[in-house]
Structure 1
Amino acid sequence: MGLNTGDKFKFRIRPINDGGYGDGLSTDSFVEIKQLQEKPKIFLDPSVKQTLEAHASGTLRLMASVSGKPYPAIHWQKDGIDLDRRGVIQTQNGATQLTIRNLAKSDSGTYTLVADNQSGTIKKMVNLVVKDSPDPPCNIKLGELQDDGSLLITWDPPINDGGNPIKHYCLQRRDAYSRSFQTIKDKISGTSYLVRDLKPGCTYYFRIIAENELGRGEGHQSNLLTVVQKRGPLHIERYKYGKMDLNKGANFNLALKPVTASERGSAKFTCATVGRPDPEIAWYKDGVRIKANNKYSMRNNYGVCTLTIHDCRLRDAGMYKCEANNQIGRSICEANLNVLPSAR
């Protein structure tokens, strides 16, 4: 006799022997046909351990068989929240499987398989640790800038260490006008470091990078730091100087050069003198001092001295000398005059 769940019947029981049927006994009310109740049961695949470890970019597969009457409703959770988008869930013929590809650190957590029916609810939990490089450190704090240009930097460990203990940290620095960071200190075991030799007027960014067995994670950058030189009280230091002697002996910074002139033409010698006090100038021809007259014109324009010889004759050829003389010293320079005879 086929009975369907939900059908209702009345039942009667009558005894029988060789003499026939006796009086029967019937149920007072209808009896509803109900399905046999059985609490849910979950059997995880033997390959599924209580705690699983997987590498980043790998694949997670959690498999289990489920039973119960009526057949339980099945759903997967991560950290107590139903999985909606992350992963693929397949349930068929009493078996269920959760597959997550391209694992990331964020997939670490507690995965729970929940099966429930009218008789109860059962859960099986698996802890997953995805091993990867660590997250960036947190809460970078810049201390007070000291007079010697040093600064204490502190930070907190990453929220997620990538499933491996942090081995050490790397501290980097860049100028605000530079794009690339330079390493200040590598393999820092703690969560603080004293930076030295910060230059007044410069602006810096700092970056902290954590490292574990699988490598370095992403860095965490600090706020901009501008190093301002502290201003103390105005202080003027007066220096005592000895008496300076500005006097200088007479000398030439432009000497005479040889001159060639034509007969009955003019010849001009030029030189330049320096000295303090201003030198006195004297001109000589062949060792004999000459003076200004119709034959010779002499000028001294702020140390530029000229001697002009008018109406040159053959006898004017010879060695001309200029002498500069002051209280500190004496100097001379000389040059030859060559007079070319005119055509007859």
Structure 2
Amino acid sequence: MPGKPAPIKKAPAKKAAEKAPEPAPEPEPAPVEAPPAEATPAEATPAEAAPAEAPAEAAPAAEGEAAPAAPAEETPAAEGSPAAATPAAEDGAAAPAIDAPAADAPAADAPAADAPAADAPADAAPAEAAIVEEPPKAPTPPPPAVPTSAPLEVSVEDVNESSLTIKWKEPETIGDSGLDGYTIEYCKDGTSDWVVAQEELIAANRYCIQKLTTGDLLHVRVVAVNPGGRSEPGALAEPVPIREIVARPKIRMPRALRSRCVKQVGEQVNLLIPFLGKPKPVVSWLKDGQPLDTKRINIRNSDKDSILFIRTTQREDSGVYEMTVKVDSFEDKASVTLQIVELPGPPASVKLVDTWGFNAALEWIPPKDNGNTEITGYLIQKADKKTGDWFTVLENYHRLTATISDLIMGNSYTFRVFALNKVGMSESSAVTKTVATIQKTGIDYKPPEYQDHDFSEAPKFTTMLSDRAATVGYTTKLLCSVRGSPKPKIEWLKNQMVIGDDPKFRQLSNQGICSLEIRKPCSFDGGVYTCRAKNEQGEATVSCKLEVKQIIISDEKSK
């Protein structure tokens, strides 16, 4: 009957297990779709029979994993059928399960396990189960190739009436698939018909497009190609006219402007920069990358030069001025650094650090405003509180600390500091808030005792009188020098007779130099002249002979 379970005999299974000393050969793997659903444990039955309605729980085999048993819930078996006896094969292999018509038994073709259910008696010998192998996995396909990024910095290298040479840099991102090459395309301005310039891809970063028509205005772009396809194009910023450039633009920067142009606040700036280029170049200026303020800065351009003019400079005019000269797609750039300077501000503060002995230590902070140029030094002055007059003690001093020495004991001093730069000295100064007082110490000064020196000396002539010859009618002078202390009295004598106040003679004595002037002497003025010097210590004389000659005129000359 279809609803009656078939009895299962254990003895043949045990006997089959004893006859199978070797494990059964592995059958071909079959898909097992039995889900791990909770199985209802079978009730303990006598050894002669077991109910078929309860699914047998899979028990692990002693020497291997048992294959899951097919559910026998809706598979009736008649007495005496092969399923009831479950005899083992003579070669020790597990007997395959009989196909059941039930829909809930997807694993009917799987090999049955030789091991008994979990609730079967323990004396049943388990059999080895068949091992199921998984099919090999298919290999992972490689990722698809990706195009590169666009070529960089496409620019014109040369142009004439029939060709155009461009250059560029390789893309920033190339990728793992590499780079096959570049293709160059161009089209006329106003159209969208792009023409490929070369037949094959090129690997170089430079290409000359030839056989062009003079006067055309062309747009040019470069495309990088790899296994992933075409990249985004890198194009020229502006269309290029196909024509001959007679002279490329070139700025001839004067040597004086190549480093830096320094001007003081209020001065005039007039920079003339020549350039070359034909046809006439287009000139443009930028200050620190921004357009110029035309209200303050004037630009005058001609065919050969450009002039940057500022009537009255200010600090804000400092910066980097960039000049660009352009002819079609060719250009040249040059920059001028303009530095507007002025007097610096005073030091931020100055402080009296210490006072000892005849010294005072100062310390100050650099000025907040350096006049747009470096500080070259400092000037330090002191003032006595008694007089209030300022005196310079250090000039062109480069440090921020200083020690002022040789101060007067008992006086109080104030100090001030000026800042210096290449323009000059700051208009104001930083003054110390505290006063440096040089304390008096108990010193008894005893001046040294000196013996008075006696400078008294008798008169002594250091330069003697010399004999002289004079001509009648021509004034002559006698000279000598004398020393002595106290100052000696001078007298002149002629032939041992004191001359006195004779108006014919003029007597002088100055700083020891004695002179006697004889005005228009005659023949009677000749003789021996003596100079005599007297003082408290003694007397000295010196003499000479004066000869006065007469001029004789011959008779022939008189006639």
Q: TM-score range by the shorter chain?
A: 0.3 to 0.5
Larger strand percent: 1
TM, length-normalised to structure 2: 0.26
Higher relative contact order (CA 8 A, sep 6+): 1
- Rg comparison, structure with higher value: 2
